[in-house]
Amino acid sequence: MSTFYEKYGGEDTVAKVVDYFYDLVLADDTVNHFFKNTDMEKQRRHQTKFISYALGGPNQYTGQSMAKVHEGMNLQPIHFDAIVKHLRDALAHFGVSEEDIVDALGKVGSLRDDILYK
C-alpha cells in the first residue's frame, strides 16, 4: 500500500498544499500575527519537509522538537484549531479524500500537547 505522500504526488504536491495552507493562514487574523516576523519562504520549505514526513514521506525534517519550536508562543486551542481547519481546507482543495484528510489530521492532532500552552 502506498503512503499518503506517494498517493498524492510526493513533495511537489505537498509544497503546493503548504503554499495554499499559508495563504489561508496569513489571511486569518486569528493566527497570522504569529508569522509577522517569519521568513515565509524558509517557513514554507521547512513545513513542506515536516508535512511530507508526517504523511509518510522521507524524513528530511531537521528542525527542533514541536515543543521547542512553539516555546514562548502560548498557543491556545483556538489557534491550533484554526491551523487544523486551514490544513483540512488546503488538503481538500487539492482533492485529498476525506478518509486521507482524517488520517493526516489525526497525525497532526497527536502533536497538540507538544504545541499548546508552551
> Which pLDDT value is given to residue 68?
93
| Chain-centre distance for alpha carbon 62 | 15
> Which pLDDT value is given to residue 1?
62
Domains of the chain, each with CATH number or no CATH: 8-115 (1.10.490.10)
Q: Contacts from 77-85 at CB under 8 Å and sequence distance 24+?
A: 77/116, 78/30, 79/30, 79/31, 79/34, 80/112, 80/115, 80/116, 82/25, 82/28, 82/30, 82/31, 83/25, 83/31, 84/108, 84/109
> Which pLDDT value is given to residue 2?
77
Which helix (H) or strand (E) segment holds residue 100: the answer is: helix 98-109
79 carries a ligand binding annotation: no
> Which pLDDT value is given to residue 74?
94
> Which pLDDT value is given to residue 102?
92
pLDDT, averaged in runs of 10, over the chain (118 residues) = 84 94 98 96 92 82 85 95 96 92 89 92
> Which pLDDT value is given to residue 58?
86
